[in-house]
Structure 1
């Protein structure tokens, strides 16, 4: 893990870093890069489907219902027939009989039309509030339905939103099962990456947003918060190798305060920046050593105190994991060596009372004390994990409903 090895002075990442690469995701239908530089290649999968939705079966239930124009035509036909007879001339009594018969026929036709259309007229928005079909809804009939439903909104018939539960398949083998809004994944749902893993949780406008659970085929899993398709907030990432990180996230990376535990038994609790140890922290090494102090770009750098398992200790200045600058080394026997250090070697001895040595010792002790007393975020992480579990359960329920709709051959638009 961490150590005393040298390296470049710029912001770089070492094999000890669990969380390294930036996260980028896009909406469905666009290529993107995944969040975490998980040693498991499954996590390289993009959130959004890379393929286009397959053409799905389409079915709509239709029933003939004459409109106003057709109804008027049915009523006018007998009247027109009677007028034609009158123009030909003939007996007046015979004409009156024909007129009565035509009126009776017109009344019968009107009654039949009323039975077909219902006892009272229905609002276009109410008539279109439930619609059953499978697949895309961008044909002329569906666009007209949406337009009429929008007209209902303008008439003050109540707030309505287009919501559906369904299944979409993608050309790369991925699939989504759950809720849609405005033609995009929104609400609760499950996205399965073909042969790789899945996401179960909250969606907003085609992106992970809220709480959820990501899992991959080899066993890695993340449970926690998301924002705009990226891990953001609090959460726990457990690697298939046994390592894990629990703490704050920003932009898809460990960022803020968190705790990193490795399968070899070493642990780090402290500050992270852009996926690496950066700031103040305490590192317990697997061999029993302990360091408390400052980190820079995943390396011990700045001021801090190091306690060796054999009883030795060093307090002072560090650079890239090595003693550098002024400090004091104390052996297990109690002997002391103070002075200026260069790449881990005492370059010049100075008395412990030297002002430069004293300033370095004070700075190292302050940094170590601050690292030990950093606030803990375990409570927030636990709450985020519980919320993620609930969101995953809701997503699985939505997925079951979506699959059932597909089996029944229907998708539903419902009021909210």
Structure 2
């Protein structure tokens, strides 16, 4: 009876990395089409403070994109909503012009990421859901799966354990949809080191694996096998029981919705002021 190979998936780099936020780093002169309002100023019709966009505002930028939310010193900072012509949309926190904190990014193809962001990349705990039905819940580092995680594949396979550099790597447990299971050590997505493969009929194959192939059969009671299996089960348990950040994400999305509403109100007032002959005032 032959063992099965696990299904390998790699997160597209475009899925979790932050697209360039050109609009958030433009100079004051290139933001003259923005409609901004600073609540910190005594005159509410003012849109800029000391030469920079501050407060709430709406900005329509390249590729028919749009940002609605908070600004600090000419950059996205606080909470907001960013959307693009094809249908992609982000709602959540920003810092210094980049997605930073908690937020949800929904892509036009149906994929999504909800979780922590650092300097424009998914980083920390999060949930990656794909349109094909697959889903990863766990840790990310620099926009790729890294740390402990749980992956449910579209074909019904399930893996729980350690990831490194977007690949199954370390210790973990892989359940195949047909009932087979492997518990043990992994290296770059392949069975490597000590582990046990259990068939659905109860038959077991234990030993030392190399590139997914059993090279040195050993008894399941072998000390190295038992230690590796225990480490795999522990990693799988920690991955499944890892704390979620759903509540923090939901709060960030709610705050982003409120910030976007305030930005649209500020934009309408700014347009009305211009129609009444009250143009933007800039403090220098």
Report if TM-score (shorter chain) is over 0.5.
yes
The structure-2 alpha-carbon separation of the partners of 1:355 and 1:403, relative to structure 1 and needing over 3 Å to count, comes to same
Answering whether residue 3 of structure 2 is matched by residue 3 of structure 1, we say no
Partner SS state of residue 411, structure 1 = coil
The equivalent position to 2:25 in structure 1, one of 21, 33, 48, is 48
> Any conservation in 2 of the 1:164–1:181 contact (CA below 8 Å)?
no
Answering whether residue 266 of structure 2 is matched by residue 398 of structure 1, we say yes
CA distance in 2, matches of 1:164, 1:264: 48
> Any conservation in 1 of the 2:48–2:281 contact (CA below 8 Å)?
no
The residue number in structure 2 matching 1:290 is 158
CA distance in 1, matches of 2:16, 2:281: 43
Deviation digits for residues 234-283 of structure 1 (CA, Å, limit 9, x no counterpart): 10000001000001111111111110100000000000111111000000
Q: Which runs of 5+ in 1 are unaligned?
A: 6-13, 22-34, 37-42, 57-159, 167-178
The residue number in structure 2 matching 1:140 is none
Q: Could you state the TM-score of these two structures normalised by the residue count of structure 1?
A: 0.61
> Any conservation in 1 of the 2:134–2:152 contact (CA below 8 Å)?
yes
Q: Could you state the TM-score of these two structures normalised by the residue count of structure 2?
A: 0.89
The structure-2 alpha-carbon separation of the partners of 1:17 and 1:360, relative to structure 1 and needing over 3 Å to count, comes to farther
The residue number in structure 2 matching 1:182 is 50
Q: Which runs of 5+ in 2 are unaligned?
A: 1-5, 34-39
The residue number in structure 2 matching 1:230 is 98
The structure-2 alpha-carbon separation of the partners of 1:412 and 1:4, relative to structure 1 and needing over 3 Å to count, comes to closer
The equivalent position to 1:259 in structure 2, one of 110, 127, 136, is 127
Deviation of residue 204 (structure 1)?
0.6
Partner SS state of residue 24, structure 2 = coil
The structure-2 alpha-carbon separation of the partners of 1:163 and 1:281, relative to structure 1 and needing over 3 Å to count, comes to farther
Structure whose residues are more often helix by fraction:
1
Structure whose residues are more often strand by fraction:
2
The residue number in structure 2 matching 1:217 is 85
CA distance in 2, matches of 1:239, 1:268: 16
Runs of 4+ aligned residues of structure 1 deviating over 6 Å after TM superposition are: none
CA distance in 2, matches of 1:15, 1:278: 11
The residue number in structure 1 matching 2:146 is 278
CA distance in 1, matches of 2:197, 2:23: 50
Kindly tell me the number of residue pairs found equivalent between the two proteins: 271
CA distance in 1, matches of 2:7, 2:27: 41
Deviation of residue 17 (structure 1)?
5.0
CA distance in 1, matches of 2:231, 2:30: 60
The equivalent position to 1:319 in structure 2, one of 187, 204, 209, is 187
